[in-house]
């Protein structure tokens, strides 16, 4: 099995941003549908796959919002015109043989990660089509992350160059630095280089925070002050792979 998983809103919102006039005028739904379908079609032609599906966010708040109400605070809301067009976009995707799924209470990220782990545990391969770097946590282990807009794979070398740690340590690094794109703070004044150095020296987050109790200097002080924020960030920024989905992947076999 080679499963392509499309991060649905990642694709749709980027296409929408490209086709929506500035300043915003009435959405040309036909143009949006054509552009989304064209983008997905290019992706499918690029990839030799046996199964494909599109994963969407649930319409309700996720467990992350319940744990941390300021999660993703400050983001521009989805335009209502796009929200009303989503059903048509997903129908256009299904015309290409790509069905869509979601899970109440969960973001697409966790659903994607859960499916990817299930497939690779059975010996299959997964390509996640997304520009979201958080999926690099799943590398390699039979998983590839493909940025379909830049036509490049976000692979192990990319992670090492961009974050200076191995993919398995990416969540720990983000817990220390925080992730402004989803409004999750980490440890103040700790950037990528410092976080990567701490990981190389101490390993996981628990070991780093334990070492901080006797660590001298500004970094030690900040780690001690923001330890709870780092632990919360670790929970928020680690992809879940235990979502109960009840899916039969035979439904998503290529026609």
Task: Compute the distance between CA of residue 155 and CA of residue 214 in angstroms, rounded to an integer.
Answer: 36
Answer yes or no: do 71 and 172 share one domain: no
- CATH number of 96's domain: 3.40.50.1010
3-class secondary structure, 147 = strand
Q: In sequence order, what are the beta bridge partners of 204?
A: none
Contact call for residues 116 and 128 (beta carbons, < 8 A): yes
The whole domain housing 13 covers: 2-158+239-252
| pLDDT (0 to 100) of residue 26 | 84
Answer yes or no: do 147 and 225 share one domain: no
| pLDDT (0 to 100) of residue 118 | 96
State both tokens at 230: 């780092």
Write the pLDDT tens digit of every residue in 182-241. 999 999 999 999 999 999 999 999 999 999 999 999 999 999 999 999 999 999 999 999
Contact call for residues 134 and 152 (beta carbons, < 8 A): no
Task: Compute the distance between CA of residue 25 and CA of residue 30 in angstroms, rounded to an integer.
Answer: 14
Residue range 63-91: mean pLDDT, rounded: 94
Residue 29 in this model has a pLDDT that exceeds 80: yes
- CATH number of 202's domain: 1.10.150.20
Q: What DSSP state is assigned to residue 154? A: -
| pLDDT (0 to 100) of residue 23 | 73
State both tokens at 195: 């976080």
Answer yes or no: do 50 and 121 share one domain: yes
| pLDDT (0 to 100) of residue 21 | 77
Answer yes or no: do 35 and 148 share one domain: yes
Answer yes or no: do 116 and 53 share one domain: yes
> Domains in the chain: how many in total?
2
- Within 10 angstroms of residue 54's Cβ, the number of other Cβ atoms is 26
Answer yes or no: do 55 and 146 share one domain: yes
Write the pLDDT tens digit of every residue in 64-75. 999 999 999 988
- How far is CA 225 from its chain centroid? 29
Task: Compute the distance between CA of residue 56 and CA of residue 53 in angstroms, rounded to an integer.
Answer: 10
Answer yes or no: do 22 and 118 share one domain: yes
Give the DSSP letter string of 91-124: HHHHHTT-EEE--TT--HHHHHHHHHHHHHHTT-
């Amino acid at each position: 099995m080679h499963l392509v998983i499309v991060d649905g809103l990642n694709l749709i919102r980027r296409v929408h941003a490209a086709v929506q006039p500035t300043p915003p005028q009435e959405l040309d739904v036909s143009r949006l549908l054509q552009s989304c379908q064209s983008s997905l079609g290019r992706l499918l032609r690029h990839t030799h796959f046996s199964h494909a599906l599109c994963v969407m966010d649930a319409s309700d708040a996720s467990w992350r919002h319940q744990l941390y109400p300021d999660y993703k605070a400050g983001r521009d809301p989805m335009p209502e015109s796009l929200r009303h067009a989503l059903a048509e976009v997903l129908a256009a995707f299904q015309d290409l043989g790509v069905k869509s799924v979601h899970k109440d209470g969960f973001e697409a990220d966790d659903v994607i990660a859960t499916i990817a782990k299930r497939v690779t545990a059975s010996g299959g391969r997964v390509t996640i089509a997304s520009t979201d770097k958080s999926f690099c946590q799943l590398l390699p282990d039979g998983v590839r992350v493909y940025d379909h807009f830049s036509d490049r794979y976000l692979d192990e070398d990319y992670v090492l160059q961009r974050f200076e740690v191995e993919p398995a340590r990416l969540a720990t690094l983000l817990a220390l630095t925080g992730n402004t794109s989803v409004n999750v703070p980490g440890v103040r004044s700790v950037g990528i280089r410092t976080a990567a150095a701490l990981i190389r020296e101490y390993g996981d987050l628990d070991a780093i925070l334990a070492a901080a109790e006797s660590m001298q200097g500004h970094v030690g002080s900040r780690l001690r002050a923001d330890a709870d924020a780092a632990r919360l960030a670790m929970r928020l920024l680690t992809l879940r792979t235990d979502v109960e989905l009840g899916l039969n992947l035979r439904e998503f076999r290529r026609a």
